[in-house]
Amino acid sequence: MSIFDKCFAFTRAEEAQQLGLYPYFTPIQEVRGNKVMIDGQEVIMVGSNNYLGLLDHPQVKQAAKDAIDRYGAATCGSRFLNGTLDIHVQLEKRLAEFMQTEAAVTFSTGFQTNQGIITTLVGRGDAVITDRMDHASIIDACRLSYGEVHTFHHNDMDDLKRVLSSLDEGIDKLIVVDGVFSMEGDLTNLPGVVELGKAYNCQILVDDAHGLGVMGINGRGTAEHFGLEDQIDLVMGTFSKSFASLGGFVVGGAKVISYIKHHSRALIFSASITPASVATALATLDLIEKEPERRERLWAITDKMRSGFQAMGYDTGPTQSPVIPVMVGDDAKTFMLWKALRKQGVFTNPVVYPAVPHGQALIRTSYSATHTDEELDTVLACFEASGKALGILS
């Protein structure tokens, strides 16, 4: 027996490649706005999390270039030691002001951010309670913590109450939920979570990776959308979506953020965010604050696409966001639909188990404020033609 036996037994990827149905790790050769080049073919991108269309904004790209000229390509150190630049501090100050909280701290990736928060705060004798559909970074962080891990059925407040009522009143408890769930695009029942959190003396962490910049009148996320910003203890966000950069952050009370900064192994033992990524995040934050029309356009696009899919007969699930799933169910048909769309020049993301439950495979689409009506009409036409050809649509 060998620890590598599982590797040699894994053949699904090779089988899919042989059938021409392997959709992952696709090399993109060039990016031109909402179109990308793949194998020499220009393809409309509806699989990116570039929600506000800032990825190639001239101001954003110039900020990244200027940062490299001033600071170099990397920090070559952790925030704790030599890796803190003045722009790291500036970004954290700006984020705290934008989110109307006391303090912020940034991490090098969003995945690492959840690990840094949860493993630092949840210790032996504590309990962490999560929605079963929470992001993998939350799930893994909970596993790495020393606390008791409890889950509740997706957005089921009765089940959350059942879990909370089963716990000892004397233990410290943290509820962790996604603001916007990344596959189906639905929102957490934040009012229900807040009500139960108060009743059972819990702190609440919202992972708003897909909500920040998008949800709320000012783009401050799901808590702003529900009018509950003052009821949430911590909000986690990423720079790899609306902020068109790389990294993550958490905002909250100053004492809590200070504790995380001085105790999080994920922060202390990792190199800090590169200068270009920090400068990009600062530049996009400026645009998020100054150009609310981007958010307005994104929601108009979201309504158009959701209505368009539904009018064809597609099931778009419970989405309430610019993440619009096209529910297929069968894995094979999902991959065939993905392939048909790619041939017609549309980039989408096929999602199967374990990212979604068995039998709930889907094509995940997501939109940018800079998509044109012509691009969107082309996407809808391709979905209709492919769906009918495959017998998904009648």
Q: Active-site residue numbers?
A: 182, 210, 241
Buried b or exposed e, range 130-168, using 16+ CB within 10 angstroms: bbebbbebbbebbeebebbebbbebbeeeebbebbeeee
Place of tokens 């021409």: 20
DSSP 331-372: HHHHHHHHHHHHHTTEE-EEE-TTSS-TT-EEEEEE--TT--
Look at the block and give the residue holding tokens 């769906």: 387
| Distance between CA atoms of residues 358 and 102, nearest Å | 42
Q: Are 55 and 245 in contact (CB under 8 A)?
A: no
DSSP notation for 189-215: -HHHHHHHHHHTT-EEEEE-TTTTTTS
* Alpha-helix runs per DSSP H in the chain: 5-9, 12-18, 58-71, 86-98, 110-121, 136-144, 157-165, 190-199, 222-226, 254-263, 265-268, 275-290, 292-312, 331-343, 373-389
Tell me which amino acid residue 162 is. Answer: R
Residue appearing with tokens 């997706």:
154
The amino acid at residue 75 is T
CA distances to 14, 20, 25, 62, 340 from 7, in Å:
12, 21, 18, 44, 30
* Calpha distance 210→181 (Å, rounded): 8
**Which tokens belong to 21?**
């149905």
Query: C-alpha 261: how far from its chain's center?
Result: 23
Interatomic CA distance for residues 309 and 220, integer angstroms: 28
* Distance from C-alpha of 16 to C-alpha of 30, rounded to nearest angstrom: 25
The CA-based dihedral angle spanning residues 156, 252, 323, 342, taken in that order and rounded to the nearest 10 degrees: -130
